[in-house]
Amino acid sequence: NVTFTHANPGGVRTPLADNLPFWARIPAKALMALGVGTTPGDCAEYMLHGMLGTERGWRCVSTKGEAVKNKQPGQEEMIKKVWDHTEAM
């Protein structure tokens, strides 16, 4: 009865760019000023949509919280490691 969701929020307009080196901070801030990326509120809504109403098992969700189709699971060994860790917790 466990669900694992891997989400890709994409670019989100947060103060994170303030801590980047200057050569990355300037382009990041310029892109955010141009409206590239989503607001934190919209991102939260998309990610919440992606987590709710999921079937049991695992899935990947896009920047808009929609299920990514045709996504192949990881290697069986890694899947087992994640599951073993989850059971131990």
Residue 63: which of 79, 49, 46 has the closest Cα? 46
Global confidence as pTM: 0.70
- pLDDT at res. 27: 93
- Report how far Cα 25 is from the mean position of its chain's Cα atoms: 22
Name the region of 77 (left: φ>0; alpha: ψ -120 to 50; beta: rest).
alpha
Of 36 and 83, more confident: 36
pLDDT bracket for residue 53 (50, 70, 90): low
| Residue 3, SS3 per DSSP | strand
Give kind and range of the element (H or E) at residue 76.
helix 76-88
Residue ranges of E strands in 25-65: 57-61
